Amino acid sequence: MQPMPHQIMGYDRNITMFSPDGRLLQVEYAKKTVKQGSSAIGITCKDGVVLCTDKRVVDSLVVPEALEKIFQIDEHIGATASGILSDARVLIEMAQVKAQQHRVTYDTPIDTLTVVKDICNLKQLTTQSAGFRPFGVSVLVAGIDNGTPKLFETDPTGIYFQYKATAIGEGETEIEEILHKEFKEDMSIEDGIKLAVKALVKTLDKSFNIDRLDCVYITAKDKRFTRLTKEELSKYLGKAKH
């Protein structure tokens, strides 16, 4: 396969250089990295918001409970990611500090959009600064603002979108087809978890294992970040298969 002319010229080696057709190739490569990451789903419900992800446990000697793919940013905000998870960890730890600083400074919880913008500002900075590479990760941020469930997706460019339900990672296309067909705005958290588990089971197919699931919900009423136990997930798994 012949290399593309812009690759011959080296436009894909420098993040600060546009190719002749107006593209930042390093950013496009970062997006491809996200497509190879583990699948993650976010769903807003009438009484809260759900995050569900594939831990992608590839070694039987790994302790599944020690693998964390959904992170708590504040009492009322959680996040998950797809792509290079070490990149995600840096972004999420920065967001956790910002959330703590906001509580100390203003004595109020930070809103979800502020967290998203902080993450996106750092992502965008690396797309126009020499010596950096783009963050090779997309992050789903879910939270409760004034009793309203919110869900945002950020991509490697530093842009963000608000969604009712969305997916990132290797199974993105297939999962989004399921979400488009079965998502309803009046879904309960229980319905949302069932739909997310069903979508992941269908996407992972033969490689599915209960140990690969990580699922969290945040209720709109008490703004509580809650991680489902393996036993609770097993119940939803039974419902998802029917």
pLDDT digits (tens, 9 = 90+) for 42-63: 999 999 999 999 998 878 888 8
pLDDT at residue number 142: 98
Q: Whole-model pTM?
A: 0.92
Residue 17 forms part of a structural domain: no
pLDDT at residue number 239: 65
Residue 205 forms part of a structural domain: yes
| pLDDT, greater one: 63 or 100 | 100
> Could you tell me the two tokens for 201?
């089971």
Residue 2 forms part of a structural domain: no
pLDDT at residue number 5: 62
> Could you tell me the two tokens for 220?
């709109």
Phi (first) and psi of residue 168, to 5 degrees:
-135, 165
**What share of the chain has pLDDT > 90, as a percent?**
74
Asked whether residue 102 carries a pLDDT value surpassing 70, the answer given is yes
Residue 159 forms part of a structural domain: yes
Q: What is the mean pLDDT of residues 115-137?
A: 94
Q: What is the mean pLDDT of residues 66-92?
A: 95
pLDDT at residue number 20: 87
Q: How many domains does one find in the chain?
A: 1
Query: What CATH number did the domain enclosing 191 receive?
Result: 3.60.20.10
pLDDT at residue number 242: 56
Residue 11 forms part of a structural domain: no
Residue 122 forms part of a structural domain: yes
Give the DSSP letter string of 125-149: HTTSSTT-----EEEEEEEEETTEE
Residues 184-221 have pLDDT tens digits of 999 999 999 999 999 999 998 877 888 889 999 999 99
pLDDT at residue number 183: 97
Residue 35 forms part of a structural domain: no
pLDDT at residue number 207: 76
At residue 122's C-alpha, the angle toward residues 116 and 123, to 5°, is 85
pLDDT at residue number 17: 86
pLDDT confidence bin for 8, thresholds 50/70/90: low
The C-alpha torsion from 193 through 194 and 197 to 201, rounded to 10°, is: -170
Residue range(s) defining the domain that contains residue 219: 41-57+68-240
Residue 4 forms part of a structural domain: no
Average pLDDT of the chain, as a whole number? 91
pLDDT at residue number 137: 97
pLDDT confidence bin for 130, thresholds 50/70/90: confident
